[in-house]
Amino acid sequence: MAADLMRTALAQGVSLSVLSDSKFKHNRLSVNLIVPMDAETISANALLPCLMRKGCEGCEDFTQLNRRLDALYGASLVSDVSKSGGNQIVTIGIKTLDDRFALGGEELVREGAELAARIVFSPVIRDGAFPERDFELERQFLIDTIEAQINDKRTYAVMRCRELMGRGDPAALQKYGTAAQARALTAKSAADAYRKLIDRAAVEIVFVGPGDPSQASQVMKRAFAGLERHPGPFIPARIVGRADEVHEVTERFDVAQSKMVLGFRTGVPAGPREQTAMRLMTALYGGTPSSKLFLNVREKLSLCYYCAARYDRISGILMVDCGVEQKNIEAAKSEILAQLEEIRRGNFEDETLENTRLQLKNSLRAVSDTPGSLEDWYLGRIIEGRVVSPEQEIRALEAVTRDEIIEAANQVTLDTVYLLTAKEDSDVN
């Protein structure tokens, strides 16, 4: 079984979290560089993991770097950008086979950590710039990725609603930034952004697996030793307690099916217990195949192709998103709100509540079954400043009462209705 999380400080602004777990066959080590979301630097930071993945000291180009990964028994390299609250996270991670399976007796934890450290600290930068060709290709790929976001209309609509509800809070911006910003970057400005990232980032290193974490910790400690850095604190998202009025935003595209997103404020939570109640309420409302929204809006009335609710405790936002024919938009909206009203009035079966609780517990228990989900779980909570284990969250979930769920539903206020729909001149069906 997974041991408890062990945290140690390796240097100023650098912490190591270790989850030792003998059942896994691979070890996963990630170096997370965390800086505030800032409209000025989002795109540059989003480009960095792609550029850092192109080569490093000792493996000067992409081919050499990949050959090194192959030699480490197909180690996989994670280079990614994400966000949590008001923070942008640049991740360089490596997953290596556990030493006990190495055919030649290699020390893979140590060798993997050394490679990760070189990718973080010694990317290929010459004369103060990333190699021009690599830079051009990766910037174009970033621009393409940003522009392709519109292809997936469901995800895009949710993202737009979140952005609108942010009212300028950097925490609500998109993790890749904008195409215009990406276009303005140069091979030199990207290298400047890299230096700034290393200087300012709070660093969270996470190790999950059966291997000896001290091997990784020594390598990382050495890598950060003697560096004069200026890391800042983590930034929480700005939580708006209540919606004062409903904002309606419609955007038109060349689409057959409309997407509607209802964004609610859930209030400033009094404590973790209220957050857990909100989580269970959301699942009951629209988080499972036996939820109110699924059974009524989708199955019974066939108003939507999909209709689901999600709750983001970091921003205190609950969203319902659905795919709907244009002629059904108003009917779907009033039914979605009517189902919330049902929960507010306590019109739900105890059996459904218990089934929902069971399903949430199931997914919480499953967190400990893959290194990746364990890493995500703990990193998210470390940044939030409140570390609880999945087991603790299960106990909290068991304690939530029916009244607390009704109370949670009554906390919720509608803030924004975002509609992505067909152009006005196209046929209305």
Partner 1 sequence: MLTESVASRRLGEGYTRIEHPSGLTLMLCPMKGYSTAYALFATRCGSIDNSFSIGDGEMVQVPNGIAHFLEHKLFESEEGDAFEQYAKTGASANAYTSFDRTAYLFGCTDRFRESLEILLNLVTTPYFTEQTVKKEQGIIGQEIRMYDDDPDWRVYFNLLGALYQEHPIRIDIAGTVESIAGISADLLYRCYNAFYNLNNMVLSIAGNFEIKDVVEACDKILKPAAPVRVSTREVQEPDEIRTRRVEQTLEVAAPLFQIGFKGRAKSYRENILAQVTGELVCDLIAGESTALYRELYDEGLINAVFDTEVMAGPNYLVNIFSGESRDPDAVFARLTDGVRALQERGISEEDFERARRAAYGRYVGIYGNVESMAGMMVLAKLADFGAYEPLDLLGELTLNDAQAFLRENFDTERCALSVVRGPQEA
126 binds partner 1 (CB under 8 A): no
Question: Which one, 230 or 327, has the nearer CB to partner 1?
Answer: 327
384-422 CB burial, b ≥16 within 10 A, e <16: beeebbbeebbebbeebeeebbbebbebbbbbbbbbbbb
Question: Which one, 148 or 428, has the nearer CB to partner 1?
Answer: 148
Taking the complex as a whole, the smallest distance from the CB of residue 355 to partner 1 amounts, in Å, to: 5
Question: Of 7-15, 216-224, 283-291, 381-389, which segment contacts partner 1 by CB under 8 A?
Answer: 283-291
Return the structure tokens found at 332. 């779907």
144 binds partner 1 (CB under 8 A): yes
362 binds partner 1 (CB under 8 A): yes
Return the structure tokens found at 407. 């109370």
Q: Which of 11, 125, 129, 137 binds partner 1 (CB under 8 A)?
A: 137
The interaxial angle of helices 329-344 and 402-411, nearest 10 deg, is: 140
Question: Which one, 225 or 423, has the nearer CB to partner 1?
Answer: 423
148 binds partner 1 (CB under 8 A): yes
Q: Which of 128, 289, 346, 385 binds partner 1 (CB under 8 A)?
A: 289
Asked if residue 120 lies in contact with residue 91, where contact means CB atoms within 8 angstroms, the answer is no
Site residues for partner 1, 319-358, by CB under 8 A, read 351, 355, 358
Closest by Cα among 41, 342, 374 to 184: 41
Taking the complex as a whole, the smallest distance from the CB of residue 46 to partner 1 amounts, in Å, to: 14
Identify the H or E element spanning 242: none
Q: Which of 6, 9, 12, 22 binds partner 1 (CB under 8 A)?
A: 22
Distance CA 348, CA 296 (A): 13
Asked if residue 374 lies in contact with residue 367, where contact means CB atoms within 8 angstroms, the answer is yes
Q: Three-state SS for 401?
A: coil
Taking the complex as a whole, the smallest distance from the CB of residue 265 to partner 1 amounts, in Å, to: 30
Which residues form the interface with partner 1 (CB under 8 A)? 1-2, 21-26, 61-63, 66-67, 69-75, 96-97, 101, 103, 133, 137, 140-141, 144, 147-148, 151, 288-290, 351, 355, 358-359, 361-363, 365-366, 368-370
